[in-house]
Chain A
Amino acid sequence: MLFNSLEFFLFLPIVFLLYWFIVNRNLKLQNTFVLAASYFFYGWWDWRFLSLIFLSTISDFILGILIGKTDDQKIQKRYLYLSFVVNLGILIFFKYFNFFIEEFSRLSEAIGLNANYSTLSIILPIGISFYTFQTLSYTIDVYKKQLAPTNDFISFAAFVSFFPQLVAGPVERASTLLPQFLKKRQFDYTKSVEGCQQILWGFFKKIVIADNCALFVNDIFGYYEYGEVSGLILLIGAVLFVIQIYADFSGYSDIAIGVAKLFGFQLMQNFNFPYHATSTTEIWRKWHISISSWFRDYLNKPLFFYFRHWGNYGLIIPLILTFTIIGFWHGANWTFIVYGLIHGIVMSIELFSKKTRKKIRKKIPKWLNSSMGWLITMFIWVFTCIIFRAENMTLAVNYIAAIFDNLFVLDMTQVTSRIIFQSLLITLTKGKVLFLLILFMFVIEWIYRKYTYGFKLNFKIPFLNWVFYYSILLLIILFGEFSQQEFIYFQF
């Protein structure tokens, strides 16, 4: 079920009350209940795919024990590879199989073979890219001896399927989350208050900012191919998408982390105000941290190590490879590959211009340096996000070309005028307000940027906190877009 659905609105308080009042007697009961609630939560979408989670769970549970039982590194490595085969096998089959078949057929046709491979009708199981990576982290950590393998199947299964973060992260490391399942949780009032603040703020970002931006974004991205839309409107569409995707995914993460806090769990920070970054390298340290750090530790570092004597190539190859794969992780589409590839290239350039940039930094005022860095970073981010959002590469290239072709041209063909008219209509009623709401979100997050989430109210007078809580609630009720739109990252 979606966080922004009526079902979850009922599910959460019921599970919360049962958890702290009924099954609170011992650890085993707590974990069994978390497991049952998580499977129920996931099964609400499609109970058939529970079997995949179960397969991933049981195989890594057994492989973890097997790795712990032997001291022979070769055998341990074999078990580790088996875990890769199972988890990545599930992932590749369900997510990338058709993509590879189609590309292979196209390639065969291009070289003159008459290929007619049929694709399968596969439904993408929700959250598959997230839980397979989390399970994998367990076996890798056990292999690296950073974590002792567990014999407690219930706790392990609950760790894999923990409902607040099951479908879209944060992808937790086994070495930080699993131990939390092996200790009985005590109710912590302060943490729970923080959790509620974070949930409230997450819903504000999702329902008010992201879903309202989506109305414009969907229109602009949906119509531009049929007519000459003014480049300026296309650019506004791209900027709104950049705001949407941040509010959507960081809002989701806030809800996930907040809900986990209500149950006595601490999840990792997933966003650290990425749009304050002044370089692309920095943005990736602040954006979707759980996945970017996963790839940093388990892919990028080993690659760096492997290629370390290759001179400059030894830095470029791992960077570009890692980010291309991060791009591809999002989905079976060339747009994601190109998105990742560009970021890898940009980061390589940043790496090799480090010394030059340091010299420049010493010569010009600090504010000028950071605002220039911010502008360049955001420019690249906005244009790569167009590629990220577009259905395919042709549309992405056309979109970007159209921005530059007629940035200030207002060609009133029928479709264009329709979009402008629609936008104006929304502008009159909602657009102006939306602009202020976006501003409000960024100002609040700027104030609380030193904290792990953007709404960590701590007024000395409790009354003031409550004024803010009710104001946010009121904003959600007044300006929220209640069409229960899916979170963007649920499709990945």
Chain B
Amino acid sequence: MTVQDVLSQFNEIFIDVLDDEDIKLNLETTADDVEEWDSLSHIQLIVAIENKYDIRFTASEMESYRNVGEMCNGILNKLAAKV
């Protein structure tokens, strides 16, 4: 799986959780760029992502991600570690 694959899967999760068809993520997207992305929906996104890839984040990992790209890479690293 590449970063682009994760990104497009992310996009679907975001559209679903935030209930907004118009979301178009890129690697530099941050919470400031998406209207509905607040601290609460952030948790809902995390849960959706954790369930989708069957992984778990720690609280400090969550705080270290500054944008969507870093999150995608974080997931790839976790998936690689699992195999």
Q: Taking A296-B39, A315-B40 as contacts, is the C-beta distance between A309 and B59 under 8 angstroms?
A: no
A309 x B47 contact (CB < 8 A)? yes
What CA separation (Å) do A144 and B62 show in the bound complex? Answer: 12
- One digit per residue, 1 when the CB lies within 8 angstroms of any chain B CB and 0 when it does not, for chain A 286-324 equals 000000000010001110110011000011000000000
Q: Select one of A144, A308, A354, A355 contacting B43, CB under 8 A.
A: A308
Q: Provide the residues of chain A in CB contact with B63, threshold 8 Å.
A: 144
In the complex, are the beta carbons of B59 and A305 less than 8 A apart?
yes
Complexed CA–CA distance, A305 and B62 (Å): 9
Q: How far is the CA of A351 from the CA of B38 in the complex (A)?
A: 12
CA distance A358 to B20 in the complex (A): 11
Residue pair B60, A144 in contact (C-beta under 8 Å): yes
Chain B residues in 8 Å Cβ range of A144: 60, 63
Give B16-44 interface residues, CB cut-off 8 Å to A.
19, 39-40, 43-44
Let me know if B46 is at the binding interface, CB within 8 A.
yes
Cα distance, A302 to B58, chains bound together (Å): 11
The distance from the CB of A339 to the nearest CB of chain B, in whole angstroms, is: 21
Docked-complex contact B47 and A308, CB < 8 angstroms: yes
Highest count of chain A CB atoms <10 Å: which of B19, B46, B62, B63: B63
Instruction: Tell me whether A304 and B60 are in contact (CB under 8 A).
Output: no
**CA distance in complex: A300, B38 (Å):** 13
Binding site secondary structure of chain B: helix
Inter-subunit contact A301/B19 (CB<8 Å): no
Per the bound structure, the CA–CA distance linking A358 and B19 in Å amounts to 10
> Do B39 and A301 touch (CB < 8 A)?
yes
Contacts between the two chains (Cβ within 8 Å), count: 29
A351 and B59 alpha carbons, distance in the complex (Å): 23
A358 to B18, CA, bound (A): 12
Q: Which residues of A contact B39 (CB under 8 A)?
A: 296, 300-301, 304
Which chain A residues lie closer than 8 Å to B50 at the CB level? 308-309
Residues of A in contact with B, size category: 10 to 19
Q: How far is the CA of A185 from the CA of B40 in the complex (A)?
A: 38
A347: nearest chain-B partner, CB-CB? B40
Contacting residues of chain B (39-67) with chain A, CB-CB under 8 angstroms: 39-40, 43-44, 46-47, 50, 59-60, 62-63
**Chain A nearest Cβ from B52, distance in angstroms:** 14
Cβ contacts A to B, 14 pairs, < 8 Å = A144-B60, A296-B39, A301-B43, A302-B59, A304-B40, A305-B62, A308-B47, A309-B50, A314-B43, A315-B40, A315-B44, A351-B40, A355-B19, A358-B19
Having A304-B43, A305-B59, A308-B46, one finds 19 other A-B pairs with CB under 8 Å, namely: A144-B60, A144-B63, A296-B39, A300-B39, A301-B39, A301-B43, A304-B39, A304-B40, A305-B43, A305-B46, A308-B47, A308-B50, A309-B50, A314-B43, A314-B47, A351-B40, A354-B19, A355-B19, A358-B19
A302 neighbours in B (Cβ, 8 Å): 59
How many angstroms between the C-alpha atoms of A301 and B42 in the bound complex? 10
Chain B contacts for A354, CB-based, 8 A = 19
| Minimum CB distance partner of B43 in chain A | A304
Whole-angstrom distance from the CB of A488 to the nearest CB of chain B?
28
Q: Mark each residue of chain A from 378 to 414: 1 if its CB lies under 8 Å from any CB of chain B, else 0.
A: 0000000000000000000000000000000000000
The residue in chain B whose Cβ has the minimal distance to the Cβ of A285 is B38
Q: A356-367 interface mask toward B, CB cutoff 8 Å, 1 = contact, 0 = none?
A: 001000000000
Q: How far is the CA of A144 from the CA of B64 in the complex (A)?
A: 10
Residues A328-378 near B (CB distance < 8 A): 351, 354-355, 358
Which chain A residues lie closer than 8 Å to B47 at the CB level? Answer: 308-309, 314
Across the interface, which residues of B come within 8 angstroms of A301, CB to CB? Answer: 39, 43
A351→B40 CA distance, assembly (Å): 9
Residues of A within 8 Å of B44, CB to CB, are 315
Chain A positions within 8 Å of B46 at CB level: 305, 308
The 9 closest A-B pairs by CB, nearest first: A304-B43, A308-B47, A305-B59, A308-B43, A301-B39, A296-B39, A355-B19, A308-B46, A305-B43
